[in-house]
Structure 1
Amino acid sequence: MLAFQPAAQAANPLEMNFWLSGPHYDGNVPGCESALDTISSRFSAKEGEFWNSGLQITGFANVREVAFRPWASNTIPRRFCSASAMLSDGHARQVHYSIIEDGGFAGYGPDVEWCVTGLDRNWAYNPACKAARP
């Protein structure tokens, strides 16, 4: 039955040029320090809501940029950063995160993806937050 299906057709010139202009990224991604408040609040919410933990980030140190647009130039611009986070249990842990241009709700504004090493309880970025780095 699949043999009698018509072949897929490419978009015609009208379809290719009508409202399909594609994304226009400027590469205007905020600095590494701009995401720290977001990471703190989201970490606290995640620990409290999903893991029934009162663990919080109390401060950051050694904030540094790791890479900016490390892949091809036509990909979504990202700034990869790393920092040391002091937690409310007295332990310091590494935080790896990226700030994504137009990654916010409905593509409006920047957004942050982050991982705290040793506390990636759902293993989204395992092993050791490697998937959160470039």
Structure 2
Amino acid sequence: MRDFVTPFKRSAAGTVLGGALGLLALGQTAQAANPLELNFWLSGPKYDGRVAPCEAALSTISSQFQDKESTYWNSSLTITAYGNIHELAYRPWQSDNIPRRFCSGSAMLSDGKVRTVNFSIIEDGGFAGYNQGVEWCVVGLDRNWAFNPACRAAKP
């Protein structure tokens, strides 16, 4: 027996699809931004390359580490001391990128273990682009794997 409904369904779907494409073809073309849309009053970032030395970030790392450990991991670990803090690189990529100073060193933790800490200080990398920001990772305690493997992604 012959099926009269299936060809009708195919032609209806084709008609709907053709109609939708036809409406898109009749749409308005894209236009260039007018002078008010160009944001000519916004000056944008002016990176001067003024990034603090490595030692300036240590207090921030200590407080953020303690906050992260107590809030997310229910741990009482804190950083008690630093040693061998040294710069790994300053602006390691092309000069048009955001200026960063990459540093590394040793951190003594409250459990008595010495671990490596890798961090970078970022010009205008703080909250809402105000002040300098710090990204850091303590090797062996990157529990959410943000800089995995072994905090290698925190290096240049």
Normalising to structure 1: TM-score of the pair?
0.90
Deviation at 1:65, TM superposition (A): 0.4
Identical-residue share of aligned pairs (%): 67
Q: Deviations over 1:44-84 (max 9, x none)?
A: 11111110111111100000000111111011111000010
Cross-structure match for 1:89? 111
RMSD over aligned Cα atoms: 1.8
Relative to structure 1, the CA distance from residue 54 to residue 17 in structure 2 (aligned partners, 3 Å threshold; closer, same or farther) is closer
Higher percent of residues as helix = 2
Superposed, 1:59-98 pairs within 5 Å as 59-98=81-120
Please list every run of at least 4 consecutive aligned residues from structure 1 whose deviation after the TM superposition is greater than 3 angstroms.
Answer: 5-17
Q: Distance in 2 between matches of 1:7 and 1:118?
A: 54
Cross-structure match for 2:49? 27
Cross-structure match for 2:15? none
Task: Choose which of 50, 59, 62 in structure 2 pairs with 1:37.
Answer: 59
Q: Distance in 2 between matches of 1:68 and 1:9?
A: 42
Relative to structure 1, the CA distance from residue 7 to residue 32 in structure 2 (aligned partners, 3 Å threshold; closer, same or farther) is farther
> 5+ residue gaps in structure 1?
none
> 5+ residue gaps in structure 2?
1-19
Superposed, 1:1-134 pairs within 5 Å as 1=20, 4=25, 5-6=27-28, 8-11=30-33, 15-16=37-38, 18-134=40-156
Q: Distance in 1 between matches of 2:31 and 2:121?
A: 37
| Count of matched residue positions in the alignment of Structure 1 and Structure 2 | 134
Higher relative contact order at CA 8 Å, sep ≥6: structure 1 or structure 2?
1
Relative to structure 1, the CA distance from residue 53 to residue 15 in structure 2 (aligned partners, 3 Å threshold; closer, same or farther) is same
- Residue 67 of structure 1 aligns to a residue whose secondary structure is strand
Normalising to structure 2: TM-score of the pair?
0.78
Q: Which stretch of structure 1 is more off in the superposition, 108-117 or 13-22?
A: 13-22
Q: Which structure's CA Rg is the greater one?
A: 2
- Residue 28 of structure 1 aligns to a residue whose secondary structure is coil
